[in-house]
Amino acid sequence: MQLGLLMFLLLGRPLALVTTGLTNWLNGLSGTSAILLGIILGLMMCFDLGGPVNKAAYAFATAGLASPTPAALQVMAAVMAAGMVPPLAMALASTVRPGLFTEPERENGRAAWLLGASFISEGAIPFAAADPLRVIPSMMAGGAVTGALIMAFSVTLRAPHGGIWVVGLIGKPGLYLIAIAAGVLVGFGGGSGHTTVKVLGVAVPMATAIADVAAARRDYLDESGGRYVHVIADGSMTSSGDIAKALAIGADAVMVGSPLARAAEAPGHGYHWGSEANHTELPRGARVRVGTIGTLQQILHGPSTVPDGSMNLMGALRRTMATAGYSDLKEFQRVEVVVADSGLPRPQR
């Protein structure tokens, strides 16, 4: 009894003040961007896995159920979805790469499948306690992605708890699961220097990924009453032809790495090294020798001295659009795309 009273006096009141302060702060954010609020809630849910910060976000969400407006129901969905990410992410990691985990951790990983599906964030605590500096930031990144997507998709939830077992109370359950999956898988990366397909056996062809996301965007455009989501293609953009195909399939923009690494001004001096390589125990990328072919001006706007699509990227894109009969990028996305095997070896397709 005395020990319990001492803990209440020393910890209970300070923790209550922290929780109250965080809840008041969240109430002050209610009028801000829905996606920003989803990111913040996702970060909080994954920060301490059932601690004061997590509980403040949860209390903020459940309080909104008393007056279930669409915005309040979206907040509840974001909080529960983000809270499911940590245990599910650890369960997936320990299943895909069991050699990186001890036997007790693998056992905890098997239990984490059910705990995550049931919205019990504490299922990830053993992993966070063992390696907090890497596990907690990765879970927070996943939670932020999930929270943002839930708010962007306008997913709603009418239950304060239950995970996937209350699917009947989730508005747009398919998009709810997509948001969770995105958070669990965050951090994959897929540039020209990545070796994830060799290390993890996980890869999605860029054209397939863009086409699938563009199709989901069309569905969301109808469901949201006209809210347009921009698609950025990142990975496998090595030539002007790759850029043109990505935009034609449905991307609004592309992220270009190795083509720009060939510029004389590039700090890599002829090498391209993706960020996914920076992992002390499980690197998934390699430093790629791409060489130096010209200035940044030549690579982007020409003139080109080679016929392989590595220079004058913008000029090639304009010529592609003109050949197809389109004058701007939005119209260019209407072009008919045919998928066929080029007959070239896989690395050259």
**What is the rounded average pLDDT of the residues 213-231?**
80
Q: Work out the percent of the chain whose per-residue pLDDT is above 90.
A: 12
CB atoms inside a 10 Å sphere around CB 115: 22
Tokens 């669990």 belong to which residue? 184
- Contacts (Cβ under 8 Å, ≥6 apart) of 195: 283, 284, 285, 286
**Does 48 share its domain with 139?**
yes
pLDDT band at 115 (very low <50, low <70, confident <90, very high): very high
Q: Print the domain residue range for 250.
A: 206-336
Same domain for 169 and 241?
no
Lowest-pLDDT choice from 29-33, 58-62, 88-92, 243-247: 29-33
> Both tokens of residue 317?
């894109």
Q: Is residue 160 part of a domain?
A: yes
Q: Averaged over 141-153, what is the pLDDT?
A: 88
Same domain assignment for residues 141 and 261: no
We report the CATH number of the domain holding residue 281 as: 3.20.20.70
The pLDDT value recorded for residue 225 is 78
Residues 242, 105 share a domain: no
Domain boundary (129, 156, 187) is at 187
Most confident of 116-120, 203-207, 255-259: 116-120
**Boundary of a domain, candidates 187, 217, 246:** 187
Which positions ≥6 away from 343 have C-beta within 8 Å? none
Q: Is 288 helix (H, G, I), strand (E, B) or coil?
A: strand
Q: Is 4 exposed, middle or buried (0-12, 13-18, 19+ CB in 10 A)?
A: exposed
Please state, in angstroms and rounded to a whole number, the distance separating the CA atoms of residues 162 and 40. 22
Domain limit, last residue, from 140, 155, 187: 187
Q: Which residue has the higher pLDDT, 329 or 17?
A: 329
Given a cut of 90, whether residue 81 has pLDDT beyond it is yes
- Mean local confidence (pLDDT), 155-173: 90
Our count of domains for the chain comes to 2
Instruction: Answer yes or no: is 12 within a domain.
Output: no
Kindly state whether residues 211 and 177 are assigned to the same domain.
no
